[in-house]
Amino acid sequence: MRARRVIVMMWYDGGWGWGWGGWFVMAVIMVFFWAMVIAGFVALVHYLTSARHGHQPGQPPSPGEPGSGSRRAEDLLAERFARGEIDEDEYKRRLALLREHR
């Protein structure tokens, strides 16, 4: 019987390779890296387009800011007075009431 010669090509890594576990770890790290890059980009876009980023001058204050409720009430009262919906006596009475409960 004749013996067959089988030539097998083997990868030689010189003992420094990580093997299959290394490939898996590198794939996980790559996915984590790109997930962080995308999440950072989304967070940046959300921060820049958010209404809570700070209001521009002339805008009414956000509802959570101190004193914003009474200022808004006074502004509405002044608008009603300017439109003629209430007279001067009514305006002064309601304004005093609002400022009293501040």
Spans of all domains in the chain = 14-50, 66-102
**Which pLDDT score, from 0 to 100, does residue 9 have?**
57
**Which pLDDT score, from 0 to 100, does residue 54 have?**
55
Q: Say which residue the tokens 């200022």 belong to.
A: 71
**Which pLDDT score, from 0 to 100, does residue 53 have?**
53
**Which pLDDT score, from 0 to 100, does residue 36 have?**
98
Report the predicted TM-score, pTM, of the whole model to 2 decimal places.
Answer: 0.38
Going from the first residue of the chain to its last (102 residues), give the mean pLDDT of each consecutive group of 10, the final group possibly shorter.
62 62 89 98 92 55 54 88 91 90 73
Do 62 and 68 contact (CB within 8 A), yes or no?
Answer: yes
Q: Which uninterrupted H or E stretch holds 6?
A: none
Q: Which uninterrupted H or E stretch holds 26?
A: helix 19-49
**Which pLDDT score, from 0 to 100, does residue 6 have?**
61
Structure-token pair, residue 10: 């083997």
Give the distance, in angstroms, between the CA of residue 38 and the centroid of all CA atoms in the same chain: 13
